Structure 1
């Protein structure tokens, strides 16, 4: 069988894989250069001149959201854990309903470039912008670490490079390309890269899905029976294989699900996409398009996951370089040989490039717009100076991400992704919802909620089994796991909501009723929003 050769060494032809990847880079770089012609103002650089339609932005959101973890991680989780692995797909998709119903249109109406624009609209500018910029940078940093380290981890399987030096070089190359994309193209160039990547990823997954179903007579039951026969374990079709083994594992799943569903609606790089469309109606359309594209993709992961379980087997997948993450590439190799594997390899790298570019421009915009322009220059910075600071910030963030990715290479990547989602859900979402829907909410409540959610999420994960106390921990030899759950969402998210509420209730101060009324009218109707976005 082809997969036995794949499990013993790097499958496919590394030169072919690199060639296809370089072709993608060349095409997208040309697009980025063409997109960079009009990047003079802050609106051009941060929000692509608000020139994208709803469907275009929906595809870009899908490209931003469907990371390498979505493609490689979920397919691997389903192949090995069956039903419980598919729960990740369900959680990620349901999260978009929260984004659509609670934040997309209201954020587009109220803000200008960043999440902090919304939070500081009727609250005191300086403390809220500093807190929002802090949480944005922390979320983006840990997400960047996960993507950069993921790039290094995938190399061992896709390109046949399994030494630390080789993986470090690849991480540096990915980081350098990401800096170039964002430095030259800004949000417009980044958006087109994300659109292309979304088309490639969904098309590649669709081809493999049809192929797997065709091998089983387009009968899903036959595919599931084949997977059960290969695994010799009917339990892969039943819930509880991973999250039903103990009371702690059930609580862990509840905590993870809470972080995934609520964190998505507060991820800074996802929220920033709502500002690249001209109207709130287009923002709403873009989320609807994103839900369809992401939903279709996650249905594909169900077929691909059980297809890998049926055609390759969980033991062969676990034994391959990259472990569970190798399920999708090995399935591609089994179906179409080196050429299909090369294409899937290019898509995986394109996925990482697109996501890190989106994260980087979000972090750069947060620093340049919220800290430099609004706090240091007190709103008096010239747009061209703000863009210059953003570009310099891109270089700094890129270098930090490269160094951090090399340092985190080989570490538990799930820890970094979980931390990013938990911090977003804990630090950002309570304050966003309170700011939009609670008239009484005060600046002090916002600051306590954001810093409380941020600190509690980080502290709880630091003392969780993810960091120490088990053979799979980041520090396997140590044991200071005082918190029993791997994800802090079950504690840190309610705590952040509680802190925002109790501090506001006890706060004697009252925010400007005029600004609150203006925010309510603008968020619900869009009146005044278009004027604000022309600065």
Structure 2
């Protein structure tokens, strides 16, 4: 074969005939496979036990949606961290840095800064103003049925986009462990992950999901810290030596440590860089599965404590992703990373294998199994949180308040949430199978763009603009949602490039891989325009009530 494959749609091409087709898992001696599978399976069994235990304590809607608001600040801080640090953080960022150096590091910075934006602007006001979902806040001073329908629709779409990344990461990871190379095998793996996701949410609700996220956060930090320490130890804790070796090993020299390897070569890639940056920084503040975590604590003070814990945990983790990514670049050949997964999603597990002694060694097998189990824990915890957010929004916003007009019982509402979980799981499995070869960090960036386009403008206008009306809310949500999704569908992410979801066809006309540069300002503009053109008189009394609740917590649940 003489053709080349574009990495993450970047300018770096690696001839396929130079790539040794050898997955890490298949490179292990066969006697290590049972050890890998056993260690890997222990986590799945443990989390299922936790889920069943928590499910027995789920008695009503408050337990299912908000865990009974019984979690402490520290517990919720761990769970928030577990929900936020997704497969994109652990697998996608390491792969992006390993292949693109400095430009891949943008994801670490963007995700960390985005978290601070979410905390400063929306986290506590939303927690004080809502009950179970983002729709509670958006519909507080608007016409209930149209706004809740829009909020529920947006929540489900954003969650499904985010779920794509987690499903893609799961397929790659388990395929690596089991030595599965066929597309059919990877699709089966995605389906099994989807089944586990459905079980976690339908059985455990928010209580089960929160405990899984806490366990996952501890495992992720411990596993990342272990690999970070081993990489630094190998380079005698000399960061300069680590970076120099990574640059030399990448084949790109000093350019690997400078901006421009992925973004900056053309005017289009420069605009893509800006678009990605905007989406990353603003996206978290519109992600429903992150925002609903603040409903699980009893007081605003506990919410603030959980924020402090989460800042420390998340900040430490993203600092370590730098060492993970550049360590992978220093210890592995780019061709070997691409042979395992063309978007670099297996760089972190491959680094664990290498640092433990290489393919065929017991140490390598153990480290591979441990890190893969951690990554799988990351995926399962995040998909459970995403599915819970979307199914809760359907049941609480659309079913209970729109379809049943507020007359549904708590039992009926929870039953609807469980059925919605099954439906969302099926859709996610189908789409995840299609997205299995895309970089998970890039997929999450798309979810960030959709969230920032559809949800963030409406949230900010609802909380801080007295004149905001129902028409403005609908224009903002549907306009931002429609524009961002359409631009993604007709972008190089879906068609037109070897790394696209459908590489054999080309119907893209939007040149950027991330729509944030266009769709996010459009969401804000449409919210403003819909309001100023509306003949509806804003309810200033309701706004005053919302302002007092959001800023002081008075009357908050």
Q: How does the TM-score come out when normalised to structure 1? A: 0.95
Task: Work out which of the residue numbers 10, 19, 32 in structure 1 matches 2:26.
Answer: 10
Distance in 1 between residues matched to 2:498 and 2:257, nearest whole Å: 28
1-structure distance, mates of 2:439, 2:351: 24
Q: Distance in 2 between matches of 1:338 and 1:487?
A: 37
Any conservation in 2 of the 1:32–1:190 contact (CA below 8 Å)?
yes
Where does 1:82-481 land on structure 2 (aligned, <5 Å)?
82-232=101-251, 233-321=253-341, 323-336=343-356, 337-410=364-437, 416-481=443-508
Q: Shift of the alpha carbon at 1:8? A: 7.0
Aligned partners of 2:395 and 2:176: how far apart in 1?
38
CA deviations on 1:372-397 (whole Å, 9 max, x unpaired) are 11112222222122112112222222
1:498 corresponds to which residue? 525
Secondary structure of the residue that 1:121 maps to in structure 2?
Answer: coil
Distance (Å, rounded) in 2 between the aligned partners of 1:69 and 1:219: 27
Q: In structure 1, what is the Cα distance between the partners aligned to 2:33 and 2:162?
A: 27
Offset, 1:116: 0.3
Q: Measure the CA separation in 2 of the matches of 1:34 and 1:462.
A: 41
Shift of 1:72: 1.1
Residues 165, 432 of structure 2: 8 Å contact kept: yes
The answer to whether the 8 A contact 2:491-2:513 is kept is yes
**2:71 is matched with which residue: 39, 48, 52?**
52
- Tell me the distance in 2 between the aligned counterparts of 1:466 and 1:408: 10
8 Å contact kept, 1:155–1:162: no
Deviations 1:377-434 (A, max 9, x none): 2222221221121122222222332233334444675664333221101000000000
Of the structure 1 ranges 179-188 and 441-450, higher mean CA displacement relative to structure 2 is found in 179-188
Whether the 8 Å contact between 1:157 and 1:321 is mirrored in structure 2 is: no
8 Å CA contact retained: 1:14, 1:160:
no
Q: Cα RMSD between the aligned structures?
A: 1.9
Using the alignment, how far apart are the partners of 1:11 and 1:395 within structure 2?
Answer: 37
Shift in CA distance, 407/236, structure 1 to aligned 2, threshold 3 Å: closer
Q: Please tell me whether the aligned partners of residues 24 and 176 of structure 2 are also in contact (alpha carbons under 8 angstroms).
A: no
Gap regions ≥5 residues in structure 1: none
Contact 1:157 1:322 in 2 (8 A): no
Query: Shift of the alpha carbon at 1:182?
Result: 1.1
In the comparison of the two structures, how many residue pairs are matched?
528
Q: Identify if the C-alpha distance between structure 1 residues 46 and 153 changes in structure 2 by more than 3 Å, giving closer, same or farther.
A: same
Distance 1:117 1:438, change over 3 A: same
Deviation per residue, 1:49-82 (Å, 9 max, x gap): 0111122111111111111121111111111111
SS in 2 for 1:378: coil
Out of 39, 44, 47, the residue aligned to residue 25 of structure 1 is 44
**Does the residue aligned with 2:541 lie in a helix, a strand or coil?**
helix
Cα 1:261–1:483 shift into 2, 3 Å: same
Q: Which consecutive residues of structure 2, in runs of 5 or more, have no partner in the other structure?
A: 1-18, 357-363
1:516 corresponds to 2:535: no
CA distance in 1, matches of 2:375, 2:214: 14
* Aligned CA distance change for structure 1 residues 168 and 431 (closer, same or farther; 3 Å): same
1:9 deviation in Å? 6.0
Aligned-residue offset at 1:160: 0.5
SS in 1 for 2:26: coil
1:413–1:279 Cα change, 3 Å: same
Q: 1:81 to 1:408 in 2, by over 3 A?
A: closer
The alpha-carbon deviation at position 320 of structure 1 amounts to 2.9
Residues 29, 320 of structure 1: alpha-carbon distance in 2 compared, 3 angstrom cutoff: closer
Specify whether residues 60 and 6 from structure 1 end up closer, same or farther in structure 2 by C-alpha distance, changes over 3 A only: farther
CA distance in 2, matches of 1:379, 1:153: 43
2:60 is aligned to: 41
Q: Which residue of 1 aligns with 2:14?
A: none
Residues 286-343 of structure 1: CA deviation (Å, up to 9, x unaligned) = 2222222111111111111111111223232223345511211111011121101011
